[in-house]
Structures are given as C-alpha cells and as structure tokens.
Amino acid sequence: MLKYQNILVFIDPTQESQPAFDRAATIAQKEQGAKITLFLCCYDLSYEMTSLSSAEERQAMQNIVIKENREWLLALAQPYQEKGLNIDCQVHWHNRPFQAAIIEVLKNKHDLVIKSTHQHSKLSAILFTPTDWNLLRKCPVPVLLVKNHEWPENGNILCAIDCKSIQDEDHHKLNIQILSEAKAMAEMIDANIHIVNAFPSPPMNIMLELPEFDPINYEDGLKKFHQKTLNEYAESHQILAPRTHLRQGLPEDVISDIANEIDAELVILGSVGRSGLSATLLGHTAEQVIDSLNCDLLALKPEGFISPIKL
C-alpha cells in the first residue's frame, strides 16, 4: 500500500521556484500511483469592494484571475505530466489560503499537504500566525514544510519525541506515530533514522525557594530517566545507539542543533493544535523550530485530531 496516495501541494504564486512541487514529485516518483494536486489560492480585496461593478461583473473578473492562474499551474505541471505523473490543478478564490487548503483536504481526502516555507520576521514569530502556522495547528493530515535542502540517498531523518510523557498515553501514542512515520519515510527515500529528546534544566523557582534542593542530583536523576525512556523507544524501533541523541535545553534549540549536526534532510515531530491567546503568543515546538531548521519539517497531528475548519 502506498504511504501517500493523494498529495496536496500548496503553490506560492509569489515565488519563481516551487520546491514543494519538486518534493511532491520526488515522493510520487517513489510512490508510483500517487496523485498530486497543485493548489493555488488567489484573492484581491479590490475586486470585492468596487461599488462601480455589479455582482456579475465582479464574478467575471474573479473568473478571469482564476483562469489565468489555472493556465499557469497547467504549464507548471506539464513537464512532470510528460514524465507520467498524475497531476491535477485547483485554483480557489478565498481570503484565507490556509482555510481554503484545509477545506480542499477535507473535501477530496488528501493524505499529505506539502508547502514551501521561508524565514519569518522575529516579530511575526511572536505575534502573528502566517499560513504555515495555521496549517500546522489546524490541518488534519501531515504537513510537510519544505526548504531547499536536498534529499540525498542514505541521508538522515530526525525524529523529535517527548520522553518525559511516557506515562501520558496520548503523548506516548504520538511518539509511536512519529517513529512509525519515520520508518515508512526512511524506507521510501533510503534514509537513516535518528531520534532526539530534550530534557529541561532544574526549575529556577524551586532552587530559590528551597535551599535544601540539590540541583545536581535532580538533574542527574532527570537525565537518567530521559535516557532510559529514549533507549526503550530506540530499541523497540531498531534505532542504533549512535543515532540516539539526548541533550539538555529547550526542545526547539536541541532539535535544530542536532538536525544541523547530523545534516538531517527531514525532521519529524508532533504538532498539537491549540487556539486562543496562548497559541498566538507562545506557539509550540513545531512553530518555534521552523525558522532555525535548514531542512524539511514534517508535522503530525495526534490520533483522533479534529480540525476546527469544517466543510
């Protein structure tokens, strides 16, 4: 059975190159029989606000824009179609690209969304939620965010798991899901699997409030617990000891450091969707690690996740 049968590629009309499309083609060539849908969302507020035009005239103008973009997509797809790839093109008029993409996913049962990404400003990383982050939070299927890092043969995939939560059944299932996904991807693209976990420093408030608190013993016990749990995950998925990485620090820093050290072509982690002020201001590991990675990021939703976007 194919790992991915129905891939949605989010096309960015502002970019000349389309690394997301290239990555989808690589996967489809290895997964013979997979279908690719090129998805482009266009919108121009001025077309909606002009009071000099009737509704029919505004619709006609929108249709012209949609037609032009569809023709561009068809031209983009043609070289790949000539190589035998099954490619469809979809252009939608919508003022929220991420929402239009998720509706397309739900409607046509896509099993993977691929989108190219680029560095965001530090301000937007703190305050705003670009399309990438909304897809990470709300898309019900895996989201692959692509950078211009190649996928060489015998490359490295890095799985980021959370060892502190093995007692938490939901987190444990997500860890297993990440490792299973990595195994399938490694077989598809002929890669090695690495596994990483970050453990925290002793909490400063306890050190200040409890003079008898021994941070060295605390840290040593914490490290041993995380190492034991990490080893259990690695052994159960046949991951060699030299490819297991435990380091103290914030997960987003540790993940990007290890990914750079092993020159990972792909990082796989879990993305738990959140909403409200905490999501806007804080983000989560998947969001915080995007800009510090020099490789692709595959974000998985936990089993049973239901998107807030409805048909």
- pLDDT digits 0-9 by tens, 225-267: 889 999 999 999 999 999 999 999 888 899 999 999 999 999 9
pLDDT for the residue 68: 94
Q: What does residue 13 show for φ and ψ, rounded to 5 degrees?
A: -70, -10
Q: 134 in a domain, yes or no? A: no
Q: 20 in a domain, yes or no? A: yes
Q: 122 in a domain, yes or no? A: no
Arithmetic mean of pLDDT, 83-90:
95
Q: 188 in a domain, yes or no? A: yes
Q: Are residues 160 and 81 in the same domain?
A: no
Q: What is the pLDDT of residues 130-172, one digit of tens each?
A: 788 889 889 999 999 998 778 888 999 999 998 875 667 878 8
Q: Is the pTM above the cut of 0.75? A: yes
Q: Which band of pLDDT confidence, cut at 50, 70 and 90, is reported for residue 74? A: very high
Q: What is the pLDDT of residues 116-133, one digit of tens each?
A: 987 666 555 554 457 888
Q: 259 in a domain, yes or no? A: yes
Q: Are residues 180 and 282 in the same domain?
A: yes
Q: Are residues 205 and 108 in the same domain?
A: no
Greater model confidence, 167 or 64: 64
- Domain extent, residue 263, equals 149-311
- Residue 278 scores a pLDDT above 50: no
Q: Are residues 294 and 188 in the same domain?
A: yes
Arithmetic mean of pLDDT, 86-114:
96
Q: What is the pLDDT of residues 172-203, one digit of tens each?
A: 888 999 999 999 999 998 999 999 999 887 66
Q: Are residues 195 and 292 in the same domain?
A: yes
Greater model confidence, 91 or 45: 91
pLDDT for the residue 51: 61
Q: Are residues 244 and 297 in the same domain?
A: yes
CA distance 98 to 138: 9
pLDDT for the residue 48: 65
pLDDT for the residue 120: 62
Q: What is the pLDDT of residues 266-276, one digit of tens each?
A: 999 988 655 44
Question: Residue 271 sits in a domain of what CATH number?
Answer: 3.40.50.12370
